[in-house]
Amino acid sequence: MTGYPTSIGSSDESTITLLGKNLADELMGQVGFGELAFWLVAMRRPTPGELRVFESVLVALADHGLTPSAIAARLTLTGAPESVQGALAAGLLGGGSRFLGVTEDAGRFLADALAGHQEVGNELPTTDDGWDNLARAAVRAQKEAGRLVPGLGHPVHKNGDPRTPALLRIADEEGLRGPHLRLFEAVGRVHPELLGRTLPLNGAGVCGAALCDLGFHGDILRGFALLARAAGLVGHLAEEMRRPIGTAVYNEVHHATEYQPPSG
Amino acid sequence: MTGYPTSIGSSDESTITLLGKNLADELMGQVGFGELAFWLVAMRRPTPGELRVFESVLVALADHGLTPSAIAARLTLTGAPESVQGALAAGLLGGGSRFLGVTEDAGRFLADALAGHQEVGNELPTTDDGWDNLARAAVRAQKEAGRLVPGLGHPVHKNGDPRTPALLRIADEEGLRGPHLRLFEAVGRVHPELLGRTLPLNGAGVCGAALCDLGFHGDILRGFALLARAAGLVGHLAEEMRRPIGTAVYNEVHHATEYQPPSG
Amino acid sequence: MTGYPTSIGSSDESTITLLGKNLADELMGQVGFGELAFWLVAMRRPTPGELRVFESVLVALADHGLTPSAIAARLTLTGAPESVQGALAAGLLGGGSRFLGVTEDAGRFLADALAGHQEVGNELPTTDDGWDNLARAAVRAQKEAGRLVPGLGHPVHKNGDPRTPALLRIADEEGLRGPHLRLFEAVGRVHPELLGRTLPLNGAGVCGAALCDLGFHGDILRGFALLARAAGLVGHLAEEMRRPIGTAVYNEVHHATEYQPPSG
Amino acid sequence: MTGYPTSIGSSDESTITLLGKNLADELMGQVGFGELAFWLVAMRRPTPGELRVFESVLVALADHGLTPSAIAARLTLTGAPESVQGALAAGLLGGGSRFLGVTEDAGRFLADALAGHQEVGNELPTTDDGWDNLARAAVRAQKEAGRLVPGLGHPVHKNGDPRTPALLRIADEEGLRGPHLRLFEAVGRVHPELLGRTLPLNGAGVCGAALCDLGFHGDILRGFALLARAAGLVGHLAEEMRRPIGTAVYNEVHHATEYQPPSG
């Protein structure tokens, strides 16, 4: 029989173990929820500074109003009010490449650029000029491959996403403005000369950079973005229960439908 | 055109508003993730004591090892590794009536018993005897209707769920051992004489009681249980990426399949 | 080691078995998709008449325009265009108690009424009068229990759902207008005298009755409604790829949002 | 107000329109379910030959035993038996790049190779030699780009997937062995000389080729694979209701769990 190793949790008749600790005695009442979320992935407890940056990321990504994801969750509750889990799942399923994917893409782009730089024996830069050079190389490579630079641009916050300077400041206060954030800032400085236009560093991107500086791998970044969004969606579902809009959205769409029979 | 009211979030070109606050200036770096989750549903910021009880609940419900839900999430990642949101959603979809539903059912059962008692003009009890009488009436009514008393019993923790005394103690420390928790404790004392056997007060049930004492309505309790579980599932997915078991679980089931052709 | 029995499918190096048949030699090219869907649940091949009724049900339930479910699927594709499975899942998740549940509820209501009648040794009626009496008893019991009679009423088709007479006719042509359909028709005749108003027999309800007459259990009826809806949703997703409306729906809602900061 | 165009369905008080037809009068009882699924995407009714090939594809993809996807659906039903839609959605969410994606990837690979050939003014081949040359160019390009050739290889059917010759034969019988299938067959002939080993043409790949020969675009192929799988999953869920294995799978995994506390 195969054994299935896990380091997350287990239980026996009298004890529940989570992350190697006694859940009831050592975690409940002593560990915050954000702290636990960090620990569950990193497999180590965050320092207070790491926790502050991490929770800032989760707070930054929790909600963005009546997004496609929030509308889908609310419409799903309209049809299946008995299944809160279905409505939450429907909302999360919209967290794919186009929206939440930016956090992951930006983190990966920065991590790959840093890894490529260090693989060939280079030290990390120590000056803004040094970071700018590294950023230029990364942006140029991305452009030459015909790919967008992730983390640049925002459909609403065209002149700057307010989350970006806020997170940079918080990371700096905690001594956690590390190489991914520094490279991201440098991308913000150098991209206009290479791309021919000036785009804001967006919030999803800076969150990806900050999570990488906290030591997380690109593969799991979308997981954190989804966890943050889950809190926002629970808020939307609670509001939908108190003051529903799902039926009104459906009616609006229904009445604006223009039926065009197929020609076939 | 219909207007869609919301109190959660909105944004314009330069500002993101969440819960009436400036996200970048007033929330990021100053509000924890658990705190935000409470606020998003309650529409008010929790006190430090409320937050401690609330986060204890989320920590208590985050994980319970390789549950059906965690296994489903991991198997889904096996088939669709590019879609973390799909794997997380699949895991949450198992959070229905049988597992996470207990939190909701227990909260509703207690809230209904309290409401029924108060509707006819009764004051809430002030002594253990008084709570026991109220609990007897509630358990008896449930039994007569042929329904189980939610929050009693656990398949593994047969002699007591360690989360129950822990959460009661924390709520007591914060002055938040309110009527739902007191009634739940009384159910624990009186049910043996009415049901003819002694069952433990389980962790899902005590969490439901505590959330109701924090002012939350029964309809949204499953939402919090799902949020807690989302953190646990992100941990499982991160572990699945590092050290996968999905394919091994599948192989185990595949090899133990006994094919029985239909007779029809 | 546990053995996992299944009668659906299995495979070895050279053969794929489905429902006890050789998939490649005995099913592909010889069995239709609707036929297979029937067989997979009933564990027996349908007769041509059964198949015609069954496929009429699936065709009847496949689509109802831009429903909340179709809109949710399209919005999900907007956010995660790389994950067709996520968009389809989001659409199906709206198939809960309020919409697709009617098929199941109506089937169960009729099956329970028939079982209750037969349990006490009664024969099934042979005349319309007999069916009317049975229907009266069932409607009265439902009303006295404070429950709605499932399968009655439709928000759009107030004077009659066109699917109902069509399915009754098809079942009759195939000799499959069985006790569930007959009782459902009788409910249509007698409910005005008992409920004080005349409501149409809706399409979801008649489909539930027809599926029960085909021998299916109430528990799986929602599964067929979901399968039918899956075909409709794949159509919607294909259309969304060709001529997207997801972003327009989002913009409409976004611009009609009225932000009301919480008072708390 | 924006108008939302759709060609799928609409309804008014007395009529339900689907694909420009009167649902009750022109579709129910006259159109099969597979036929409707084709029509909903193609926006035209299939010929009998097209329908036979199309339904052969759906039958071929409906089930493959207790796959990760079927196990996830069953485990989800264990936790949320009240939500068939959640269990079905969980099963479909495993239909991502690794399993169902092959149908789409193979279809796209073949369609791109044909488009690239025709774009520069070439006629399609008329001999096996001609197809082999085209296949060699496509396989070589794929290999040089460091990508796998989709549709080759199968973990179980190492010496040949029985669905492949069956579908080729059926398509041939219906006069629908078109350029995508011919190129796919040629890939089967030429890849050993280019890749240095002989792999079987798998069933998912041949289904992708056949769907492209029916005129479908690569973007929607996964949708059909999911629809086929939905029928299989409804069968699994019905079986899970009759003879559950979810709890046994969970117990097996639970008992084989090896807890390894994190070192952090």
Question: Measured between alpha carbons, how far is B128 from B24 in angstroms, rounded to an integer?
Answer: 48
Give the mean model confidence (pLDDT) for residues D60-65: 95
pLDDT digits (tens, 9 = 90+) for B86-114: 999 999 999 888 878 899 999 999 999 99
Among the residue ranges A91-105, B138-152, D21-35, the one predicted with the least confidence is: A91-105
List of domains in chain D: 101-217 (1.10.230.10)
Chain B residues with CB under 8 Å of C2 CB are: 256
Contact B131, B188 (CB under 8 A): no
At C263 the pLDDT is 84
At B98 the pLDDT is 83
Confidence of residue B124 (pLDDT cuts 50, 70, 90): very high
Contact across the interface for A256 and D3, Cβ inside 8 Å: yes
At B263 the pLDDT is 84
Contact across the interface for C78 and A94, Cβ inside 8 Å: yes
pLDDT tops 90 at residue D48: yes
Contact across the interface for D259 and A10, Cβ inside 8 Å: yes
List residues of chain B with CB under 8 Å from any CB of chain D.
Answer: 1, 65-69, 71-72, 75-76, 78-83, 86-87, 89-90, 93-100, 246-247, 249-250, 252-254, 257
As a residue count, chain C comes to 264
Instruction: Report residue B87 CA to chain centroid gap.
Output: 20
At C264 the pLDDT is 62
Mean pLDDT, chain A, rounded, equals: 95
CA closest to A3 among chain D residues: D256
Closest CA to C92 of C238, C225, C244, C246: C225
Contact D44, B233 (CB under 8 A): no
Chain C residues with CB under 8 Å of A81 CB are: 96-98
Segment holding A249, helix H or strand E = helix A246-255
pLDDT digits (tens, 9 = 90+) for A2-53: 689 999 999 889 999 999 999 999 999 999 999 999 999 999 999 999 999 9
Closest CA to A88 of A241, A254, A259: A241
At A156 the pLDDT is 86
Q: What percent of chain B has pLDDT over 70?
A: 99
Residues 6+ apart with CB under 8 A from D148: D142
pLDDT digits (tens, 9 = 90+) for A52-90: 999 999 999 999 999 999 999 999 999 999 999 999 999
Contact across the interface for A93 and C90, Cβ inside 8 Å: yes
Question: Measured between alpha carbons, how far is D140 from D138 in angstroms, rounded to an integer?
Answer: 5
Give the mean model confidence (pLDDT) for residues A231-250: 97
**Nearest residue, CB atoms, D264 vs list A1, A44, A261:** A44
C133-141: long-range contacts, CB 8 A cutoff, minimum separation 24: C134/C183, C134/C186, C135/C183, C135/C186, C135/C187, C135/C189, C135/C190, C135/C191, C136/C190, C136/C194, C137/C113, C138/C109, C138/C110, C138/C113, C138/C183, C138/C187, C139/C187, C139/C190, C139/C191, C139/C194, C139/C195, C140/C194, C141/C113
Phi-psi region of A19 (alpha: psi -120 to 50; beta: other; left: phi over 0): left
At D264 the pLDDT is 62
Confidence of residue A95 (pLDDT cuts 50, 70, 90): confident
Distance from CA of B162 to the nearest CA of C (A): 31
Confidence of residue D113 (pLDDT cuts 50, 70, 90): very high
Contact across the interface for C90 and A94, Cβ inside 8 Å: yes
Q: What is the pLDDT along chain C (264 residues), one digit of tens a residue?
A: 568 999 999 988 999 999 999 999 999 999 999 999 999 999 999 999 999 999 999 999 999 999 999 999 999 999 999 999 999 999 999 988 887 889 999 999 999 999 999 998 999 999 999 999 999 999 999 999 999 999 999 988 999 999 999 999 999 999 999 999 999 999 999 999 999 999 999 999 999 999 999 999 999 999 999 999 999 999 999 999 999 999 999 999 999 999 999 986
pLDDT tops 90 at residue D101: no
Contact D134, D116 (CB under 8 A): no
> Would the ipTM clear 0.90, i.e. be above it?
yes
Segment holding B140, helix H or strand E = helix B128-144
At B95 the pLDDT is 87
Question: Measured between alpha carbons, how far is A235 from A242 in angstroms, rounded to an integer?
Answer: 11
Confidence of residue B264 (pLDDT cuts 50, 70, 90): low
CA closest to B247 among chain D residues: D68
At A2 the pLDDT is 66
Distances (CA, A) of B143 to B99, B137, D79: 21, 10, 24
Give the mean model confidence (pLDDT) for residues D55-72: 96
Residue whose pair of structure tokens reads 């769907």 in the numeric block? D211
Distance from CA of A210 to the nearest CA of C (A): 23
Give the mean model confidence (pLDDT) for residues B12-34: 96
Among the residue ranges B2-6, B42-46, C126-130, the one predicted with the least confidence is: B2-6
Give the mean model confidence (pLDDT) for residues B227-245: 98
